[in-house]
Amino acid sequence: MEMLRIGVIGAGRIGKLHVENMIRMTGLEVAAVSDLMLNDSLKEWAAEMGIPSVTADYREIVQDSGIDAVFVCSSTNTHVQVIIEAAQAGKHIFCEKPLSFDPEQTRQALEAVEAAGVQLQVGFNRRFDHNFRRVKEMVEEGQVGSPHLIKITSRDPYPPSPEYIQVSGGLFMDMAIHDFDMARYLAGSEVVEVYAKGAVLVDPVFRELGDIDTAVVTLTFANGSLGIIDNSRKAVYGYDQRVEVFGSGGCATVRNDYPNSAELVTEAGVRSDKPLLFFLERYQQAYIEEVKQFADCVRGGKPVSVDGKDGLKAELIAHAAKRSLLEGKPVRLEEV
């Protein structure tokens, strides 16, 4: 198997997750990691991972002719510049969502990728989850008939820090963007209209920082089907991730994943453990699968299954949702 040498740009929580997954995979070598906050702790971690090169300057990775692909796991405001430089250097690119906060900047990145003829995969890891993928297969096989309603529930177990909220891009761009992509994925149709309502019900800090923590978004698809997404930044019982596709021939659903399936049944009631704590636990295998498929596509010269255009479309839905929230009315995608 051809060895792919990878450079990881950004060694925060998600960057480290990818590294720790990749070092266990056959055919992948993490050759370098960069992070602006390079310190002794990061150097020690890299040494433990067996990574030969650690730097504070991502350009050392981009300009390294021995590196085949880069993983862009740095802050969102850096994504476009890194993508453009990596594409121009002939590197294949895996980038965490969103590609940017500005659709025009995202388009510039996509143009650079197309001009260079390299691959760009966006980190919509939920597409690679075994549960959601099976629902997608059921829809494609016609087992639910023509889809009528797509319902997605996505609720975090606890809110992010104020420091994170300030740079996150807001609930729609940071959190619900996964759900916007999942809605397109399951519906097999493009979103044409968005109507969003939001509130601050979890913590006043969201209002102070110009954000919301609770939302309901309705989507209208080009094929006439409808979507409903509900989001919350705090579900006291754990990470709540559910999906339902209801159609003319049936209904496919995904419930939450749990640490185990044990239930205690007593006179007082029925009790089980809470859902898996958060996204690192819930989507552990999905993170592995998305990297494997990226590597397979790069080796085989095949198009990745979730590309930059998918990233842009999800961003546009997020912008439409924000505009709808502010204006208090439905927004057509063509308006954004």
Q: Is pLDDT of 1 > 80?
A: no
pLDDT in tens, 49-78: 999 999 999 999 999 999 999 999 999 999
Contact 145, 250 (CB under 8 A): yes
Q: How confident is the model over 142-157, as pLDDT tens digits?
A: 999 999 999 999 999 9
Q: How confident is the model at residue 282 (pLDDT cuts 50, 70, 90)?
A: confident
Paired residues of 33 in beta bridges:
8, 54
Residue 279: the pLDDT is 85
Predicted local confidence at residue 30, as pLDDT: 97
pLDDT in tens, 98-121: 999 999 999 999 999 999 999 999
Show the 3-state SS of 45-97.
HHHHHCCCEEECCCHHHHCCCCCCEEEECCCHHHHHHHHHHHHHCCCEEEECC
Residue 322 has pLDDT above 90, yes or no: yes
Judge contact between 183 and 244, C-beta under 8 A: no
CA 279 to CA 12: how far, in whole Å?
A: 15
pLDDT of residue 273 exceeding 90, the answer is no
Domains and CATH numbers, the chain: 4-118 (3.40.50.720), 127-285+314-335 (3.30.360.10)
Residue in the block written with tokens 């198009």? 303
| C-alpha dihedral sign at 335, 76, 126, 117 | positive
- pTM exceeds 0.85, yes or no: yes
Q: Is 163 helix (H, G, I), strand (E, B) or coil?
A: helix
Helix, coil or strand: residue 213: coil
